[in-house]
C-alpha cells in the first residue's frame, strides 16, 4: 500500500466529496440551499409552534414529555413537507430557465464544499479521542489527512471564537452589574439617615465604619 499514491482512506474521502458534488450538480445550487433553509425553517417552526400545540397534545397524549415530543415531531414534519414543496417548485422553475447551467455549476461547487466540510466534521471526534501516535496506520498514512486536519482545526476554532464572543458578552454584563451595585451602595452610604435628629450633633454621621470601607474597596477592586 505504501507504493500507491493514495491510500484506501484517501479514495474514500475523494469518493465522498465527489458523490456530494454529483448530487448537488443534479439538484442545483438553488435546491441545495433551499433544502438547508427548509431544515432551519422547520426548526424555527418547532420553536415557535410547540408552545401553541403543547396544550392540545397533552390533552390526548400522556405523559407530558411524550406529548411534547409528538407535537414537536408533528410540527417539524409538516413544516418540512410544506417547505420541501416550495423548494421543489422554485428549483423546477430555475431548471427550466436559462439559469439552469449556472445553477448546476454552482451546485457542483457547493457539493464539493459540503463534502469537504462533512469529512472535516467527521474527523473532529477522532482528534479528540486519538493522538497522532494512537491513530491506526491506514488513517495516519493518508495523503489527504493534513488537509482534513487543517479543516477540522478551522471548524473547531470557529466554534471556539463564537464561544469566546459569548463569554466576553457575559463578562461585560457582569462588569456592568458590579458597577451598578457599587453606585447603589455608595449612594446609600452618602445619603443621610432620615431617622437621625437634626439638632443633636452626637447623632450626625461620623463617616464609614471599617466594614463599609472594606465593602466599597471590594466592589471597586472587582470593577477594575
Q: Kindly list the domain boundaries of the chain, sorted by start residue.
A: 8-190
In the predicted model, what is the mean pLDDT of the chain?
82
- What totals of helices (H) and strands (E) does the chain contain, helices first? 7, 0
For residue 203, pLDDT beyond 60: no
Q: What is the pLDDT of residue 7?
A: 86
* pTM score, whole prediction: 0.61
Tell me the mean pLDDT in the region 200-222. Answer: 61
Percent of the chain beyond pLDDT 70?
Answer: 71
Average pLDDT score over residue span 85-98? 91
Asked if the model's pLDDT at residue 89 lies above 80, the reply is yes
Take residue 140 and report the three cell numbers written for it. Answer: 495516519
Q: Indicate whether 1 pLDDT > 50.
A: no
- Count of beta carbons in the 10 Å neighbourhood of residue 70: 15
For the segment 100-114, the average pLDDT, to the nearest whole number, is 94
Amino acid at each position: 500500500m505504501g507504493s500507491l499514491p493514495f491510500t484506501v482512506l484517501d479514495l474514500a474521502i475523494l469518493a465522498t466529496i465527489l458523490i456530494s458534488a454529483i448530487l448537488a450538480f443534479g439538484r442545483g445550487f438553488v435546491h441545495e440551499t433551499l433544502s438547508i433553509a427548509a431544515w432551519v425553517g422547520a426548526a424555527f417552526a418547532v420553536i415557535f409552534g410547540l408552545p401553541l400545540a403543547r396544550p392540545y397534545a397533552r390533552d390526548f397524549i400522556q405523559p407530558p414529555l411524550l406529548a411534547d415530543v409528538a407535537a414537536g415531531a408533528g410540527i417539524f414534519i409538516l413544516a418540512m413537507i410544506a417547505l420541501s414543496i416550495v423548494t421543489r417548485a422554485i428549483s423546477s422553475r430555475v431548471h427550466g430557465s436559462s439559469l439552469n447551467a449556472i445553477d448546476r455549476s454552482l451546485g457542483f461547487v457547493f457539493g464539493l464544499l459540503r463534502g469537504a466540510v462533512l469529512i472535516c466534521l467527521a474527523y473532529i471526534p477522532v482528534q479528540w479521542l486519538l493522538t497522532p501516535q494512537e491513530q491506526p496506520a491506514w488513517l495516519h498514512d493518508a495523503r489527504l489527512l493534513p488537509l482534513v486536519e487543517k479543516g477540522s482545526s478551522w471548524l473547531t476554532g470557529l466554534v471556539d471564537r463564537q464561544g469566546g464572543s459569548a463569554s466576553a458578552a457575559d463578562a461585560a454584563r457582569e462588569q456592568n452589574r458590579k458597577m451598578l451595585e457599587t453606585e447603589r451602595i455608595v449612594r446609600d452610604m452618602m445619603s443621610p439617615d432620615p431617622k437621625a435628629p437634626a439638632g443633636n450633633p452626637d447623632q450626625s454621621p461620623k463617616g464609614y465604619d471599617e466594614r463599609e470601607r472594606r465593602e466599597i474597596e471590594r466592589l471597586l477592586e472587582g470593577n477594575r
